[in-house]
Structure formats: structure tokens, C-alpha cells
Amino acid sequence: MLISPEDLGPKGDLNDWLRVGAKGDPTVFRSILERALQTSATPWALQIQRLPPDLAPWDLEDYPGVRDLLCEIGRQGPLSRDAHLRLVAERCGWRSSHFKKAVRELAQARAPHP
């Protein structure tokens, strides 16, 4: 998922990016795509942005879709996992260190067994 750079306007689809933003120049078009990839939020970050800001830690697992989100985050590599958990903590006003271990345990418990 890409979120278009603000200078291309709210609807900037790929055709607009090539025709208007890059004026048909493939090198400029590539630059626009690279910039969009660097500044785009991940799908998990977009889900986190939709969480209610006052969600209590004990309600997190029961909030619709959050258990699956936390399991996906828990299975990520350490850098991505910690960055996304930090986003959850900031969104809900908690300290991320309080639930990092719990998210990893949740992901392990829900992982398919061989």
C-alpha cells in the first residue's frame, strides 16, 4: 500500500504520478515511487492509527481485530516489531515495555504447531 505524496494531491494514482508528477520521465517517476515507499505507513501502522486513543491495555486483546494484529506484529523481526509496538503504546498512551513480552507470547501461542 502506498500513500501518495502530498504534492500530488489527494487522488494521485499511478497514472497521475507518471503523466503529471513525472511528466512522462521514467527516472522522475521512479523517484516519486521511491519517495512514496519511504514515507508510506505500513499496513500495521495504518491499523494502529485506527485504534481508539483511550483503549485500556486489558481491553486490547478483546478489541475487534487487535488480537490478530498483535499476533502479526509479534511474529515480525525485532526492529519492525518494536517500532510497531511503540506505535501502539503511543496511540494508547502506555509504555511499550509493559506489553512487548506479552505480545511475543501471544504470537507464539497462536503460531501453527508443526
pLDDT in tens, 9-19: 555 566 666 66
Q: What is the pTM of this model?
A: 0.61
**43-62 average pLDDT score:** 84
Torsion of CA 69, 74, 78, 82, to 10 degrees: 50
Would you tell me how many other CB atoms lie within 10 Å of the CB of residue 38?
A: 8
Cell 487522488 -> residue? 11
pLDDT at 61: 76
Lowest mean pLDDT among 51-60, 67-76, 90-99: 90-99
Handedness of CA 96, 98, 101, 102 (dihedral sign): negative
Return the amino acid letter for 76. Q
Answer with the residue of higher pLDDT: 47 or 25. Answer: 47
**11-37 average pLDDT score:** 72
Chain center to CA of 24 = 31
Question: What rounded mean pLDDT belongs to the chain?
Answer: 76
Whole-angstrom CA distances from 80 to 24, 30, 42, 47, 72 are 35, 25, 10, 15, 11
